[in-house]
Structures are given as C-alpha cells and as structure tokens.
A and B are shown apart, each in its own frame.
Chain A
C-alpha cells in the first residue's frame, strides 16, 4: 500500500520535471538562437567595422559587405506594402463590421482565414505570373516589372488577411453601448463607426499594423520571386533590387567564409528589428485589454 503511494508520488514528481523541461525548451531554444546568431554575426560586424557593414556597396568579389542598399530596399518595401495593406484591410474590416449584409460576414471571414494560411511561395508565384507582367506592360515606363512596387503589391495582398481579421476583432471588441450611445445622441451610422467605434479600437488597429510590418520585413520567398535581386541602392520603384531577407536567401547556396558571416550579420540586424517590433506589439496588446476593461467597467 505504502509502496504504491510512494510510486505514485515519485511518478508525479518525475512527470512534473518532464513537463517543466518541455516548458523550458522554448526558452532554451530562444537562447540558442541568440547565441548562435550573435556568435556567428557580431564578430564579423566588428571585424569589418560598423561603418563598412552599414555601407552602400555589396560586392562579394571585392570583399565589401555593406548592407545599406538592402536595408533601404527593405524599408521601402515594408512601408509601401504596409501602407497599401493597412488602408485596404482597415476599410475592408470596417465594411465587414457594419456596411455589408450580415449573412456575408461569416463566409468572408472563413475565406480570409483560409487565405492567411496560404504559403508565401504561392503569393510569390502569383506576383510572378500576374503582377510583374502587368506592371511591365501597363505601368512601368522602363519596361521592367520587377522591383519594389511589385514586391510591395504582393506583400500587401499577403498581409491583407491578417490586417482584416485583427482589426475586425478589435472593432468587435468595442462595447456595443459606444455605438448605440452615439446613435442615441443623433449620430448617423457612419459617424458612429468612424468617430466613436474606430477611435475606441485604435490599439487593436495599431497591433494589426505592427503585425503586418513584422510579416513584411521578415517575408523572404514572396519577395525574392518578384524583386529582381541586384544588390544595388534603390533609385526607382521599377528596378531590380534586394531586401535583407532576399539577400540572405540568395546567398544561401554558396555560403562560405566572409560572405556567409556577412549574411549571418544581416540576420542579426533583422533579428533586432523584429525584437523591437515584438516589444512594441506586446506593449500595444498589454494596453488593449486594459483599455477595454476600463471601458467595460464604465459600462456597468
């Protein structure tokens, strides 16, 4: 009897340790990623000097590894795609919130969720067979379809599902009484949505923006297929350039020595950037429920 009890207690303790080590695995994995990336990248940054590393010339043959051109291209692509995606996505969410037949909302949401799961190479392929030829023939004067605009359009479509579903959630989380109160004060439906509900959902909408910036900065394969790939400073929207991520993927197959270390270093830069985004995202997310709780308290 006693031994059975001891066995059960021992088993409980052992399983607790096993579950604990599973939980610690994520922390350990994150630690490993930091250690390996920094050990692989930081010495190279110091060796070339930060000035050279953030210089504008990337030429593997002459041994200059300046990532500035790629950083600038990444920033352009991110800004443009976020601007397009957020504008379109936010208005779409608003339409789904109040200005469309209610029966349509469910199916549209399902479609949007489905599209959020589609692989990035599919979006890249779409860009390659539809957007790039369209830009080349109809829009670009230089006869080049590849470049920042193509990549931004592809990314804007790609981040659309995320923006729509996150901002729709934010709008739905605003207490109904806000909307009803505005209507009772004589506001029209539109005034209530745009002047009362939307400002109340502000933090959720910002969270959607941050999420889409994160996806746009980090996206590799959809971009690599439509951006051309020359490591030069962007001068036009229709010009073959490279982003930080596509630079890493393009060098992937011939990684050795200094070029490899340079790519790992640009990985470190990316990593830092996404860390910053993560922190601002969790600050926003931490802020959102608090504001809502306050609102709900005011409600009752």
Chain B
C-alpha cells in the first residue's frame, strides 16, 4: 500500500518534469517556426522592385519605408525629450514617495496597458476628426509618441537611478547648480541606458500597426509628399498585402520587417552591453 503511493508519487513527478521539458521544446519549436516559416515563404520574393521600385502594377514598399522613417522621426522628436525630461523630474526632483510622482507613475502604467487600437481611436478622434488633419503621418506619429512615452520614461528612470549618488554630490560640492549637474554629470552617465531605451522604442514604432490603421490611412501606393499627407508603414503593408491578394509581397515585406526588428533589438542589446561594460571600467 505504502509502496504503491510512493511509486505513484515518483511517477507523478517524473511526469511533471517530462511535461516541463516537453513544454520547453514545444515553445522553442513554435517560436522558431514563426521566424523560419516567414523567412522561407518570403525571402525568395524580396527584390529590387519590391524594395525600391515605383508603385505600379507591381507593388513596392518604398512608400512604406519612407512612411516608417517619418513616423519614427516624428514620434521620437516628441517622445524622447518629453520622456527623458519626465524621468529626470521623477528621479532628480521628487522622491519616489511624493504624491506627484505616484500620480505620474500610475498614469504612465495605465498608458502602458491601453491596447493600441484604443490609441488608434484616440488619434482618429483627435487628429482626423477634431483637428481636421484627415489621415496623416503627423497624426499617427504623435499618437505613437504618446504610446511609447511610458516605455521611455520607465527605462530612462532606471538608468538615471543607476547613476551613483556620489557623482551628484561631487558635482554639487564643486559648486555646480542643479541644472548643470543634471546636464553635465547625470545625463552623460546614463546616456548608454537612455540610447538603448530609445532604440527599443524605435522597435515598438516599427512593429506597431493597429494605431496606424486608424490614423495614417494605409495609402500604400503613393509616396508621402509631406508630413501632413496620408501614408503607410511596413507593418501596415504586410497587413494590406495579405488582405488584398498579394500573398507573396506580404511574406516578402514580412521578411524585411522581421529583419529590421531583429536588427534593432540586437543593436540595442549589443549597445547596452558595450556601454554597460564601459561604465564598469570607469567606475
């Protein structure tokens, strides 16, 4: 009797261990399959016409490349200074327990949890309807800026907090003002972390599509003439091609997008590691 129970126990735990290993293999297989299948399906269709050609009878993603670039520039131009500024305020001017910093943190966390399609609706209501911009890159870019703001604030805060207090005290002891300490000591020390977080934010911008479908208009066949004109992005092109009968182009654009995002992530990781090492050597 006792022996049976013991045997059952052993079997049960062996089964659990096996299940966890099997899950590991299955997860890796599923995630690897995403990359492998997209690459296999699309890489043969990546060609010059698709990448840089004019949009004629054969589709091209040149408008999307430019649209994506514009969106990155607009969103970063707004979110980078505001995000870094607000992280500076949270770490250098308030202590973490003050009411204001708690309110800001809760707001940022709430913003981070809102689904992107709701941001899209907001951008639509503000820029397309209320301000009368129609569908435009600038409206999409500003909406994206609000969306990536919490990401930038949080990671910048972390890298500012990692700057040793002694550096600030040293700067004050030398007679520097608060502003000078921030710009000449704290921010340069945290530059590596901040740049890494900005690169990751670019990754988010490139990946985003639900916001853009409601704000930039998904005009895949025209080069954007200005920031106020409607446009498209790489991610939107993938959706457009797959839903409008261009499966090959969809897969090929998927390959381009995938490579871009993986490249951005590797760049961010490598840079983070490089600068992290540098800091270690200096300290």
Interface of A toward B, CB cutoff 8 Å: 8-9, 11-12, 15-16, 18-27, 29-30, 32-33, 36-37, 40, 87-92, 94-96, 99-100, 108, 110-115, 117-126, 128-130, 157, 160-161, 164, 188, 190-191, 194, 214, 217-221, 224-225, 245, 248-249, 252-253, 255, 263-264, 267, 270-271, 274-275, 277-278, 281-282
Contacts known (A26-B153, A129-B37); A267 close to B117, Cβ less than 8 A: yes
Report yes or no: B209 in contact with A218, Cβ–Cβ below 8 A. Answer: no
C-alpha spacing A12/B177, complex, angstroms: 7
Contacts known (A221-B239, A252-B214, A281-B113); A122 close to B34, Cβ less than 8 A: yes
Name the residue of chain A whose CB is nearest to the CB of B14.
A190
* Interchain CB contact (< 8 A) of A91 among B20, B121, B179: B20
Q: Which residues of A contact B118 (CB under 8 A)?
A: 33, 37, 218, 267, 270-271, 274
Central interface residue in A16, A29, A188, A219, by most chain B CB within 10 Å: A29
B206 within 8 A of A: yes
In the complex, how many angstroms separate the beta carbon of B235 from the nearest chain A beta carbon?
5
A92-B20, A218-B114, A277-B113 are known; give 11 further A-B pairs, CB within 8 A: A22-B85, A26-B86, A26-B153, A29-B111, A29-B149, A115-B34, A121-B209, A157-B30, A224-B239, A245-B115, A274-B113
Report yes or no: B115 in contact with A218, Cβ–Cβ below 8 A. Answer: yes
Proximity string of chain B (108-128) to chain A, C-beta cutoff 8 Å, 1 when within and 0 when not: 111101111111111011100
Stretch at the interface among B55-63, B165-173, B255-263: B255-263
B96 within 8 A of A: no
Report yes or no: B34 in contact with A123, Cβ–Cβ below 8 A. Answer: yes
Report yes or no: A92 in contact with B34, Cβ–Cβ below 8 A. Answer: no
Report yes or no: A22 in contact with B130, Cβ–Cβ below 8 A. Answer: no
Nearest 4 pairs between A and B by C-beta?
A: A218-B115, A22-B85, A91-B23, A119-B207
Q: Which residues of B contact A40 (CB under 8 A)?
A: 121, 125
Report yes or no: A190 in contact with B38, Cβ–Cβ below 8 A. Answer: no
In the complex, how many angstroms separate the beta carbon of B263 from the nearest chain A beta carbon?
11
Stretch at the interface among B44-52, B87-95, B275-283: B87-95
Q: How large is the interface on B (under 10, 10 to 19, 20 to 34, 35 or more residues)?
A: 35 or more
B162 within 8 A of A: no
Q: Which residues of B contact A218 (CB under 8 A)?
A: 114-118
* Interchain CB contact (< 8 A) of A20 among B22, B31, B89, B115: B89
Report yes or no: A121 in contact with B20, Cβ–Cβ below 8 A. Answer: no
Report yes or no: B258 in contact with A118, Cβ–Cβ below 8 A. Answer: yes
For the complex, would chain B's binding face be called helix, strand, loop or mixed by DSSP majority?
A: helix
B27 within 8 A of A: yes
In the complex, how many angstroms separate the beta carbon of A129 from the nearest chain B beta carbon?
6
C-alpha spacing A241/B115, complex, angstroms: 20
Report yes or no: A274 in contact with B19, Cβ–Cβ below 8 A. Answer: no
C-alpha spacing A120/B171, complex, angstroms: 46
Stretch at the interface among B69-77, B99-107, B188-196, B221-229: B99-107
C-alpha spacing A209/B26, complex, angstroms: 19
B134 within 8 A of A: no
* Interchain CB contact (< 8 A) of B38 among A23, A125, A252, A267: A125
Proximity string of chain B (237-263) to chain A, C-beta cutoff 8 Å, 1 when within and 0 when not: 011001100010011001001100110
Contacts known (A37-B125, A220-B210, A278-B110); A22 close to B82, Cβ less than 8 A: yes
Q: Which residues of A contact B92 (CB under 8 A)?
A: 19
Q: Please name 6 pairs of A and B residues whose Cβ atoms are closer than 8 Å in the assembled complex, sorted by A.
A: A15-B182, A24-B86, A27-B103, A36-B130, A37-B122, A157-B34
* Interchain CB contact (< 8 A) of B37 among A12, A111, A126, A255: A126
Contacts known (A100-B21, A218-B116, A277-B113); A8 close to B177, Cβ less than 8 A: yes
Report yes or no: A129 in contact with B149, Cβ–Cβ below 8 A. Answer: no
B81 within 8 A of A: yes
B146 within 8 A of A: yes
B265 within 8 A of A: yes
Report yes or no: B33 in contact with A126, Cβ–Cβ below 8 A. Answer: yes
B2 within 8 A of A: no
Q: Which residues of A contact B149 (CB under 8 A)?
A: 25-26, 29
